[in-house]
Structure 1
Amino acid sequence: MFTGEGPIFQQLAARVADDIVSGTYPEETAVPSATDFALFHQMNPATASKGVNMLVDLGVLYKKRGIGMFVATGARKILLTRRREEFRQQFLQPLLQEAAVLDITPAELHSMIDEEQDPV
């Protein structure tokens, strides 16, 4: 499950975020505890806790004292908004910069994207 790319706690947080976005963990439902994640993935509990707390800090998860961790209302929207911005920075901006270097017009770029989505 963990690729070795980036710290394990960040990979765990990304995996839980993926599960929230996909609907595996709907809003207002419980998620496994940091201890459960640590046992399941055979990792240090402090590492698992750090990953879970990243999502708490984002407002995606919240703690119910004595009960466990839950997905916050609006968590999916928070994650999608964040991912769209990351997509813009990681993919769209470099694409547009390279298109400008290659003198590809916006219309040509749009056409290329259309062709990739609907190959003939």
Structure 2
Amino acid sequence: MSGQLNDRKPIFEQIKDWISDQIISGTLKEDDRVPSTNEIVQFYKVNHLTVAKGVNQLVDQGVIYKKRGVGMFVAPDAKKKLMGERKQNFKEEYLKPMMDEARKLGLTDQEISQLITEMKGSDADE
């Protein structure tokens, strides 16, 4: 396990995001065992209920499933579900505000595309 918790969002969301990131990156694949609530509690030194809240949200989403007495595992199509959710969030949180601002500035689609291409190029330099 790796990662640091911060004050930017609730801890249960950070735990949920950490597990989700492991699935999206391919570190955890379908039917792989997910670290137990107790393992996460010990690693991050946080309250058991806090970890359980994040884990249970993933269970409710159908991203992980529990086998009583055995552990938690990555559900079939978990990566696909998470990617779909994250793409929708990306659209709403980043693209919509960007497009709203672009309209205010009177930018054309071509100008927006050019700016994105420039940004991608500057990322490669870093």
TM-score by length of 1: 0.95
User: Identity percentage over the alignment?
Assistant: 41
Task: Identify unmatched segments of 5+ residues in structure 1.
Answer: none
Alignment-derived partner of residue 25 in structure 1 = 28
CA deviation vs aligned residue, 1:68-104 (integer Å, no higher than 9, x gap): 0000010000000000000000110001000000000
**Which of 67, 70, 74 in structure 1 is aligned with 2:73?**
70
Instruction: Check if 1:57 corresponds to 2:60.
Output: yes
Q: Is the 8 A contact 1:99 1:109 kept in 2?
A: yes
Q: Alignment partner of 2:5: what SS?
A: coil
Alpha-carbon distance between aligned partners in 2 of 1:116 and 1:2, rounded to the nearest angstrom:
29
Alpha-carbon distance between aligned partners in 1 of 2:14 and 2:119, rounded to the nearest angstrom:
30
Q: Is the 8 A contact 1:25 1:31 kept in 2?
A: yes
**Which of 95, 99, 109 in structure 1 is aligned with 2:112?**
109
Q: Is the 8 A contact 1:35 1:49 kept in 2?
A: no
The count of aligned residue pairs is 120
CA RMSD of aligned residues (A): 1.3
Q: Alignment partner of 1:112: what SS?
A: helix
**Which of 11, 14, 25 in structure 2 is aligned with 1:11?**
14
TM-score by length of 2: 0.90
Structure 1's consecutive aligned runs of 4 or more residues displaced over 3 angstroms after TM superposition are: none
**Which of 99, 102, 105 in structure 2 is aligned with 1:99?**
102
Using the TM superposition, give the Cα deviation of residue 117 of structure 1 relative to its aligned residue in structure 2, in angstroms: 2.0
